[in-house]
Amino acid sequence: MDMEMVHVLDHPLLQHKLSILRDENTGVKDFREIVSEVATLMCYEATRDLPLEEVEIQTPVAKAVTKQIAGKKLAIVPILRAGLGMVEGILTLIPSAKVGHIGLFRDPETLKPVKYYCKMPTDIAERDVIILDPMLATGGSASAAIDFVKEYGVKHIKLMNIIAAPEGIRRVQEDHPDVEIYVAAVDEKLNDHCYIVPGLGDAGDRIFGTK
Ligand code: PRP
Ligand code: URA
């Protein structure tokens, strides 16, 4: 695994919240809220390299040359369903980001991603994109989502996952070596059903209470 393009965000607040997410006794309300908070904290780190430009403003006291974010605008693209749980948390920090959606589910037999929905902002090609999904397991869904976003002409893509398996990171790096990956934890392995171990279970079911 080439860790140069992988950012493991191990801030104490993130690690603490991640433990609550992993706990099977955490209920749907807390789980959903904490996924959102984790996304906000991860967004803070994933936007650390945004370019700045100088701007002249007038404070109540004096003129000042200060900084504002320059360059391309952002879009976030959650992978449905579970990625939806991260959207509000990102918009808390970047309220002007546009939101595209990609619907993918993992076929339980083949474990391959199946696309059932895709709607992107019309100007997505001019935006930098952060793809959101709490779980990076085999990497099939993330790799397919990156493929779709690239088909729209997007040049700069980041992938944000709360928990990743080493297998998923390797898969994304093989298919998309240009994509930087932001995770709060790299877990041990996948089990026989391609669930992340120890992981947190099925993220979609835990966010939406469907099990
Ligand atoms: C989960 C998760 C990812 C995918 C990860 O979604 O949210 O999208 O699995 O697995 P992979 O890395 O092996 O592709 P799921 O297919 O359960 O769909 P859901 O979000 O609709 O529940
Ligand atoms: N999808 C999930 O929601 N959890 C896993 O552990 C793997 C895939």
CA atoms of 199 and 196, how far apart (whole Å): 5
Residues with CB under 6 Å of ligand 1 are: 79, 81-82, 104-106, 113, 133-142, 168, 194, 202-204
pTM of the model: 0.95
| The ligand 1 atom nearest the CA atom of 165 | 12
Q: Going by C-beta distance under 8 Å and a sequence separation of 6 or more, which residues neighbour residue 62?
A: none
Per-residue confidence in pLDDT tens, the chain, 211 aa = 778 899 999 999 999 999 999 999 999 999 999 999 999 999 999 999 999 999 999 999 999 999 999 977 999 999 999 999 999 999 999 999 999 999 998 788 888 889 999 999 999 999 999 999 999 999 999 999 999 999 999 999 999 999 999 999 999 999 999 999 999 999 999 999 999 999 999 999 999 999 8
Q: 8 φ, ψ to 5°?
A: -95, 110
Protein residue whose Cα sits closest to atom 2 of ligand 2: 202
143: tokens are 């790799």
DSSP H or E stretch at residue 201: none
Pairing verdict, β 74-80 and 101-106: parallel
